[in-house]
Each structure stands twice: as structure tokens, then as C-alpha cells.
Chains A and B, each alone.
Chain A
């Protein structure tokens, strides 16, 4: 399976601290995306990083991509209670000849006030 694996599976931090979660994948990719999902709700697109990019920022989010190691990380700085959610990476599967994204296993983040 191409499904990405994320670690840690769960992370609990204090408000104001930084949160880092990692995603590893198995095949060549065109791009990698990160999504947030609040409990039982739909997913929200956070950021897309292309395979020729190494780092991307959006507000308090910083994403890195290392295609040689087939890994990506998402850093949330100065976390807030509202950041409590599950975070998924999604990789673009190019092997089938069609466009589809496969979601990783996810990291459940809890930010304590």
C-alpha cells in the first residue's frame, strides 16, 4: 500500500508550544498535502508542497519535504487550543496513471489550555 505513515500517532502539548508531526511515504510523488480534521467533521486543506519545493510557510504552519528520504514534516508554531484536531498528509499517487490522493494514518493533536 502506498499509504503514508505519520508519527507520532498522538501528541499532547501545552498551549503556546510548537507541534511537529511527520509523514513518511513509499513511492514517487508529484506533491504532498496536509489536511486538518476536527472531530467527526470534514477535512480542511492546509498546504500543498510540490516535489521540487523543500519548504513552505503559511501563517503559523511550516511544511518541509525531503524527497530523498520520502518524508515530510508539519510544524505548527505557538499552538492554540483551537489547533486540537487530527492532521493527515496526503500523497499524490502517480503509479496508477490516474490522479488520486492517498491519506496517511494521521496524527491526533491535543493542545491543552
Chain B
């Protein structure tokens, strides 16, 4: 299995809702990442997990809460989002949190109304 699977593919949520994005990989990768991408912009790093521990938080607002329950799974919990949080959310994994290529999922297209 050489894939990173993200669910759901599309999500529409209200500003008072609580929802979660899910990311799964079975490649034995020990580093996992969340990126946010706005239209026609490059991906921006949000969080890095290394060996199931949060190693980087790029000053992301607390309405985004990551969780890594095990080495194969990464969640992003969303609460009280704003319309400007609408974006493509990408999950990626790599062999280790070192200098390796990333495998990306196809993303979750999030719309906050």
C-alpha cells in the first residue's frame, strides 16, 4: 500500500459545527503532516507529527486541533471555524521526519459557511 487516504473528500460545515478530518497510511511512515492550501497558493505547513508526537505547530489557531492516535492515523479536529478557513487540507507522510520525500493524500476540500 503506497497511499495516503483522506476522508471526507468534501466537507461543508457551519461556523458552530464540530467536525474531523481523517488521514490514514499503511506504509510504516513515522512522520505525518497537515498542510492547508488556498486556491492558487502553495501548501502551508500546519502541524508535524513524528513518532506520534507533535513536533511542529506553525502557530495554528486553537480551533484546529490535531491528534495522532497511532502511527497510521492522523486526525484534524475542527471547531468554530471561520469562512476564511475554507481551503484544501492536505495530509502527507514520510519515512521519518528527516529529509525524505512526502506522500500526499488527495485532500479534503473544506467549505465553512
Interface residues of A (CB under 8 A from B): 3, 30-31, 33, 35, 40-45, 48, 50, 88, 92, 98-106, 108
- A106 and B42: CB pair below 8 A? yes
Which of chain A's residues have a CB closer than 8 A to the CB of B6? 42
A3 to B107, CA, bound (A): 22
Interface residues of B (CB under 8 A from A): 4, 6, 31, 40-45, 48, 55-56, 88, 90, 92, 97-107, 109
A66 to B45, CA, bound (A): 26
- B104 and A44: CB pair below 8 A? yes
- A100 and B106: CB pair below 8 A? no
- A45 and B101: CB pair below 8 A? yes
- A98 and B103: CB pair below 8 A? no
Known contacts: A31-B99, A45-B101. The answer to whether A98 contacts B90 by CB under 8 A is no
Whole-angstrom distance from the CB of B54 to the nearest CB of chain A?
A: 11
- A42 and B98: CB pair below 8 A? no
Which of chain A's residues have a CB closer than 8 A to the CB of B31? 99
- B43 and A43: CB pair below 8 A? yes
- A92 and B99: CB pair below 8 A? yes
Which of chain A's residues have a CB closer than 8 A to the CB of B48? 98-100
Which of chain B's residues have a CB closer than 8 A to the CB of A41? 106-107
- A40 and B101: CB pair below 8 A? no
- B42 and A88: CB pair below 8 A? yes
Given contacts A50-B99, A98-B55, A106-B41, 4 further A-B contacts (CB under 8 A): A42-B107, A48-B101, A103-B43, A106-B42
Interface centre among B6, B88, B100 (most CB of A within 10 A): B100
